[in-house]
Chain A
Amino acid sequence: MTSVSRWVLVFYCIYLLLPLYWLMTMALRNNSDITGKFEVIPSNPTLANFAEIFSNPVWYQAFGNSLSYVVLNTLISICVALPAAYVFSRYRFLGDRQLFFWLLTNRMAPPAVFLLPFFQLYSSIGLFDTPLAVALAHCLFTVPLSVWILEGFMSGVPSEVDEMAKIDGHSFPYFFFRIFIPINRGAIGVTLFFCFMFSWVELLLARTLTGSTAKPIVVVMTRTVSASGLDWGVLAAAGALTVVPGIIVVWFVRKHLVKGFALGRV
């Protein structure tokens, strides 16, 4: 590594950390402190903002809503994508390349295009304002993405494994669930990471498809922004808390992360 690259890395890390640091300091200060006095290091740190979030149902229910549609989405995506990815990696069939490409286009679709139709569609089937609606809507992107990633990994598992299981006399379900899926644990972890990366962060669809019942955290935060009498401290605390699930997910899949990126299948 040349020293130029090293310095760039160091400065970039500082560049990354500064706004995050600022977020934390804001989260630890009272709103009146924030608007009153400008300080780089908080002189009066307080956990009141976090307490507000954990005690106010508007906030913690919102977190719950977000987590529930993300989990739902990841579950559906992975369950549905596993057989498809298996089949893409092992067989050729009529229209396979076209189907694969079409799936990819969905991952790349601009959410704005789907706002209105989704709104109408989910309203008409009575799913409006539920986590399931958001989970399904996000499937538009996460399912193709999951198939795409899983297929990449699965193609690296030799078909001899399948044959050996057959020779050993195992039925296909046994092979698939007890042998093949455990082999692809890393792949599933990476897919989980990328599904999370899509679903947890998205705003447009999450906002369009929810009303007051299933309001996700991303909406509560933006609503807070547009209201007057803005509480920066609570907002910052909420923001800080949204970073936490991400860190947890990355931590768990860190070993397989690079391989996932290496396949270029982000």
Chain B
Amino acid sequence: MAINKPYNNRAWLGVLPVLLIVAFSAVIPLMTVVNYSVQDILDFNSRFYVGLDWYRETLQDPRFIEAFGRQVLFSLSVLAIEIPLGILVARGLPKNGAWTSVLLILLAVPLLIPWNVVGTIWQIYARSDIGLLGVGLNELGLAFNYTSNPTHAWLTLIAMDVWHWTSLVALLSFAGLTSVPPAYYQAAELDGASKWQVFRYVEMPRLSGVLVIAVLLRLMDSFMIYTEPFVLTGGGPGNATTFLSQYLATMAVGQFDLGPAAAFSVIYFLFILLFCWIFYNSVMLDGTVDESEARHHD
């Protein structure tokens, strides 16, 4: 049902509390960051305006570029696994019945574990001395050690992220799939459609909407990942698993080099903003096709 929304500027009263809190949380700090990003701060009293110098320096900093490259590789890898896996898991879920609730809760659990605990769980699990996976792989003769071998570290991180976040894709896909009225399946069956045709013509159109959301969310969130790799590998061995957030955190807090750190932050944020814009438009303009609901935004 479309809500005919009247125009009323007094509505601003309703958003005022939100505005105040978010402004306090976001605008002031952001302004600070932008402020720092264009200054050279030697100490509290001496600051020089340097324009876009920090930006230029950051974008040319080899360590930044490396961290960026690792980040892109990581994000694309986890996406490539999580999206298809999430869809398959969602298709395997029974649509209703006793098992459905149990399985949904199981799927939701990884999403609700503090991120450092996720790191800790996988640390305990993958260590080659006390971990089930670590010891298991070594027993199979694989000489697995994620603390010293960069490739193993990468694989473990990816496995951990898949363990952590596939549920999000699965739950989104499940929501999309269950929105298909049974009549569509029945009609396809009467048509004599094959299983593949049912997936392609009945399920995929419903899924495409939620999938765009899933891809964008995972892309953005994986781009910001910090805690889990920090706990699991600490960014190592060496720099092998240092991604963007960790690099920024080290710069900002450890080294107290505020100017470059601020510039880095701004670049980082702009990148995220771009994805956010795409996300916003696709959610607001795309609708899943449904006979009983209509998009209410124009």
Contacts and interface: CB of A to CB of B under 8 A. Distances in A.
Contacts of B283: 264-265
B89 A12 contact: yes
Contacts of A258: 104, 171, 174-175, 178
Contact of A9 (B17, B89, B275): B89
B265 A112 contact: yes
Nearest to B12: A93
Contacts of A12: 85, 89, 166
Given A243-B112, A254-B105, A93 B9 contact: yes
Given A112-B248, A196-B112, A243-B113, A261 B91 contact: no
Contacts of A109: 26, 269, 272
Given A94-B9, A112-B265, A76 B88 contact: no
A217 B179 CA distance: 39
Interface of B: 1, 3-15, 17-19, 21-22, 24-26, 28-30, 32-33, 36, 85, 88-89, 91-94, 101, 103-117, 120-125, 129-133, 135, 163, 166-168, 171-172, 174-176, 178-179, 195, 209-210, 213, 217, 220, 223-224, 226-227, 231, 245, 248-249, 252-253, 258, 261-262, 265-266, 268-269, 272-273, 275-277, 279-280, 283, 293, 296
A117 B269 contact: no
Contacts of A140: 22, 25-26
A15 B91 CA distance: 17
B117 A93 contact: no
A59 interface: no
Contact of A139 (B25, B28, B120, B249): B25
Given A1-B91, A105-B273, A266-B168, A159 B3 contact: yes
Contact of B172 (A80, A196, A202, A261): A261
Contacts of B19: 99
B interface majority secondary structure = helix
Interface of A: 1-2, 4-10, 12-13, 15-23, 26, 34-35, 38, 40, 76, 79-81, 83-84, 86-94, 96, 99, 101, 103-106, 108-118, 120-121, 136-137, 139-140, 143-144, 147, 155-156, 158-159, 196-197, 200-204, 208, 217-218, 221-222, 225, 232, 235-236, 239, 242-243, 245-247, 249-251, 254, 257-259, 261-262, 264-266
Q: Which of B13, B131, B224, B268 lies at the interface centre, i.e. has the most chain A CB atoms within 10 A of its CB?
A: B224
A242 B6 CA distance: 46
A16 B110 contact: yes
Contact of B22 (A86, A101, A144, A196): A144
B18 A23 contact: no
A16 B163 contact: yes
Contact of A91 (B7, B109, B120, B172): B7
B93 A80 contact: no
A264 B213 contact: yes
Nearest to B110: A16
B24 A136 contact: yes
Nearest to A260: B175
A249 B112 contact: yes
A147 B18 contact: yes
B295 to A, nearest CB: 9
A139 to B, nearest CB: 5
A83 B13 CA distance: 9
15 contacts: A6-B92, A8-B88, A91-B6, A93-B9, A93-B10, A112-B248, A113-B266, A116-B33, A136-B21, A201-B115, A242-B114, A246-B111, A258-B174, A261-B172, A261-B210
A143 B21 contact: yes
A158 B179 CA distance: 20
B124 A143 contact: no
A147 B7 CA distance: 19
Contacts of B85: 8, 12
A40 B195 contact: no
A59 B241 CA distance: 30
Contact of B7 (A92, A204, A221): A92
Task: State the 3 A-B residue pairs at the shortest beta-carbon distance, nearest first.
Answer: A246-B112, A9-B92, A87-B14
Given A38-B130, A108-B275, A108-B276, A257 B268 contact: no
A262 to B, nearest CB: 4
Given A9-B92, A204-B226, 6 more contacts: A2-B91, A76-B21, A93-B12, A106-B26, A108-B279, A121-B29
A114 B109 contact: no
